[in-house]
Structure 1
């Protein structure tokens, strides 16, 4: 049963990564910086999940679960930035333009990211990709943690 839970978690992470790349390359929606941050946890989930199928399953499942959990937490932060609940990092959101000289404004425009983190490029039923990633990441983390807590 432990291996089955690890396999399901690993397939879940893989599915989310494939979906993200589908949106990026097929849907022509390049990721913002925070979208990339969310992917890193799933990459860790895939790597540790595959290792968990080979050796030290409980330890690797726990590490994979932490990766999926981290992705979900970052997705919560990203969702708040998208919904303007809190500010995101300056490197990926818009900044106020008041009080800037024309040179500073031009510099800010030229340094602006191509894809902003505070805009929602796609929604389904009022939920963004980051919102869906929250739910999926926590379910996947639960699968990995269930595998890690099972007795050998």
Structure 2
């Protein structure tokens, strides 16, 4: 039970830290940054349910681990977009393309509802550290899911 509560807290800490970094350091998130947060909330809810429901602890705990890994997978994809390995399919990440007969009205209608940071522009939290926020999230997700898997294997999930 303690391990599941710790997992719930650690999972919730990631999107809370990301949100705090917006206010404290003025970091603007891109659309992929926002997508990385949702699986952590799912993981926190699943881990909390696992802590409260002993009979379902094992399956809910493993689902929480998978949710954390889902955020890591989105972060890995985001790193690829930042590095220019592939483009993002999300509309909020796309640059406007002029030409092709598009009018100014067409371009204005294609704008995202809220201004966002381009997904291919990495944000570095620590000056001099070559890890973007997406890369730090990938490392956090891998570490947290690994630790949670150890808790599950050692009997916390029973």
Q: What count of residue pairs does the alignment treat as equivalent?
A: 149
* Offset, 1:96: 6.6
Matched, 1:18 2:22: no
* Offset, 1:19: 0.6
Give the structure 2 partner of residue 149 of structure 1. 153
Matched, 1:57 2:61: no
Paired with 2:36 and 2:119, the residues of 1 have a C-alpha distance of: 12
* Offset, 1:123: 4.1
Matched, 1:126 2:126: no
**Scaled by the length of structure 2, what TM-score is found?**
0.81
Give the structure 1 partner of residue 70 of structure 2. 70
RMSD value, Cα: 2.2
Give the structure 2 partner of residue 93 of structure 1. 93
Q: Secondary structure at the match of 2:93?
A: coil
Give the structure 1 partner of residue 110 of structure 2. 111
Paired with 1:59 and 1:140, the residues of 2 have a C-alpha distance of: 17
Runs of 4+ in 1 over 4 A off after TM superposition: none
* Offset, 1:106: 5.1
**Scaled by the length of structure 1, what TM-score is found?**
0.84
Contiguous gaps of at least 5 residues in structure 2:
none
Higher relative contact order (CA 8 A, sep 6+): 1
Paired with 1:17 and 1:98, the residues of 2 have a C-alpha distance of: 35
Assess, with a 3 A threshold, how the Cα gap between structure 1 residues 35 and 60 changes in structure 2: closer, same or farther. Answer: same
* Offset, 1:131: 0.3
Paired with 1:36 and 1:90, the residues of 2 have a C-alpha distance of: 12
Contiguous gaps of at least 5 residues in structure 1:
none
Give the structure 1 partner of residue 27 of structure 2. 29
Paired with 1:31 and 1:52, the residues of 2 have a C-alpha distance of: 31
Contact 2:31 2:93 in 1 (8 A): no
